[in-house]
Structure 1
Amino acid sequence: MSGGVGWLVSLAGAGLVVAVLRDVFRTLWQPSGRGEVSRWLTAGLWRLAGRADGRLAAVTGPLALALVAALWTMAIILGWALIYWPHLPSGFSYGASLNTAERAGFLDAVYLSAVTVATLGFGDIVPADGWLRIAAPLEAVLGFTLLTAVVSWISQVYPALTRRRTLALRLALLRRAEPPADRLDPVTTAGLLTSLAADVIQVRVDLTQHAETYYFHDGHDDTSLAAMAGYAADLALQGQTSSRAEVRTAAAMLGRALDDLAVVLNRQFLRLKNDQAVAVLHAYAVDHDRGSRPAGN
């Protein structure tokens, strides 16, 4: 490979690495952003699960996380392989058992990139040129950073799912108890509605920061916020007819929190022309109705 073409190939590899790092940053560290790869994969798998009558719904979220992490890793390996390839074999030193002339192909560059990003460092092929002696350790650092970032990502996703499912279960138990509104102490009612509003706000923040959690199917109605959101809206409406000011205020807070949640759901996932909260929450329930019937409205 001629010098000019070789450097173009290396630049293409560097561009691929930069694109992957940008997507990782947008997905994991940008508070209100989401990378293109994770958005495309998770939304695509969710649509596929819907066409398969919901049979894939239970694994859509975990499978999407695994595929995104695998795609990031493979792209990093491929990008760095393109950086190394034009400089094989002249830019590297080879072990005594290796035939240098036979170790200058693209597969050898992929092998070198893979063992470097995995920080294995077998030592049979090592960089000799000065800039390559900097590039190879940098790839190892990126590989370790990517592994750490993915583990951190997963550790943040599941607590968000737990908070969402806990709110749904609270609503389900409250609906099952059916407390008479006229017999409840106003302070107790106001406190309950305020607490529910705070939980809804937390779910809204979780969806903004971890958009991929939308595509985790919660299964049973009692732990599905999509199924129970309609009941939360009913509670807000009932509370706003109370004769006590503290109850009306708390109910209004719950209603506003649900409106805000509906805005996020519609803007990031559903994209309905009718952006009224009732319509959005109903569409949310329908979109997650994969084997279980929505509750609420």
Structure 2
Amino acid sequence: MTWVLTLVGAALILFILRDVFHTLWHPTRHGGLSRLVMRSVWRLSAHHGERRRPAGLAGPTGMMAVVAAWSLTVAVGWGLLYWPRMPEDFSYASGLAPGEHAGPVDALYVSLVTLATLGLGDIAPTSGWLRVLAPLEALVGFALLSATVAWILGIYPALARRRALALRLSHVRRAQMDDGALDSAGGAALLDGLASALSTVTVDFEQYPESYYFYDIDEHTSLPAQLDHAVGLADRAARARHPDVRLSASVLRTALQDLSEVLDERFTRTGADPGRVFAAYAADHGRS
């Protein structure tokens, strides 16, 4: 029984460490548990048309749920390593009866205290390898806290870049630029700027896939609501007489294609052309 609990505990710890690695430090992958939690929160966020306002909480709530799942699973994993070895391999503060504090709840308590780096010391390991294991858990707890802070500090600038692009597209749409104004050096510069911003957002979706689950209530800062205008702008520019505008239109189309491939591979899974991918993206965010 001791070895079974030890193996299960070690497996839980390694599973979470792998998930944290792929979610936070491997930009081309996404951890399985974090992806499952984020998608589940998104689907449970009651998003249906104009009544889907609770979806605005899906992103922050999902991130909190992921961090909670990581922390709790790691604590349970280390608790399973401690439990079979209690009370023999632990020292107890005066006033605590070892036989009365050797259950699974006590093991989880020791694990949580160690993971949080509180170091209360009322129950502490005494055997050689456990005395090494406990500080390792504290290091993992500290690394998890630091990684969570870095995750939050990274994802919100990515959201700001996405919203800035959407607002820029909204500005262009509301300006009602005619074909004559678009067919100029200024039109080419505008298209180049949009293509550059789209490339940045594409990288953000690859590095921070969790940003997909952040819903923007304001239509002007909602990228799903504005992408169809970018597609139309590229189509119009492709028919321009100015060679620089046609070149910029080609670059913008390529940037839109790259973004649609990332969205479709990771989220929408339609296997369709960019227009349909963006339509599915908009529908998933209540913008159809």
* TM-score interval, normalised by the smaller of the two chains: over 0.9
- Kept in 1, the 8 Å contact 2:183–2:241? The answer is no
- Report deviation, 1:179: 2.5
Residue segments in structure 2 that go unaligned for 5+ positions in a row: none
When residues 122 and 183 of structure 1 are mapped into structure 2, their CA distance, relative to the original with a 3 A threshold, is: closer
Matched, 1:147 2:145: yes
Matched, 1:17 2:13: yes
1:86 to 60, 84, 95: 84
Question: 1:258 maps to what in 2?
Answer: 256
1:282 to 275, 279, 282: 279
Question: 2:246 maps to what in 1?
Answer: 248
When residues 14 and 261 of structure 1 are mapped into structure 2, their CA distance, relative to the original with a 3 A threshold, is: same
Mean alpha-carbon deviation: is it higher for 280-289 or for 52-61?
Answer: 52-61
- Kept in 1, the 8 Å contact 2:30–2:209? The answer is yes
Question: 1:210 maps to what in 2?
Answer: 208
Residue identity in the other structure for 1:143: G
How far, CA to CA, are the matches of 2:7 and 2:33 in structure 1? Answer: 22
Residue segments in structure 1 that go unaligned for 5+ positions in a row: none
Matched, 1:40 2:40: no
How far, CA to CA, are the matches of 2:24 and 2:169 in structure 1? Answer: 30
When residues 132 and 239 of structure 1 are mapped into structure 2, their CA distance, relative to the original with a 3 A threshold, is: same
Residue identity in the other structure for 2:28: S
Mean alpha-carbon deviation: is it higher for 181-190 or for 115-124?
Answer: 181-190
Count of residues paired in the alignment: 286
2:222 to 220, 224, 234: 224
How far, CA to CA, are the matches of 1:70 and 1:38 in structure 2? Answer: 11
How far, CA to CA, are the matches of 2:10 and 2:136 in structure 1? Answer: 12
Question: 2:126 maps to what in 1?
Answer: 128
Matches within 5 A, 1:142-221: 142-183=140-181, 186-221=184-219
The TM-score normalised by the length of structure 2 is 0.96
SS at match of 2:91: strand
SS at match of 1:251: helix
Question: 1:105 maps to what in 2?
Answer: 103
Identity %, equivalent residues: 45
Residue identity in the other structure for 2:18: R
Mean alpha-carbon deviation: is it higher for 162-171 or for 93-102?
Answer: 93-102
When residues 174 and 131 of structure 1 are mapped into structure 2, their CA distance, relative to the original with a 3 A threshold, is: same
Structure 1 residue runs of 4 or more that deviate by more than 3 Å after TM superposition:
50-53
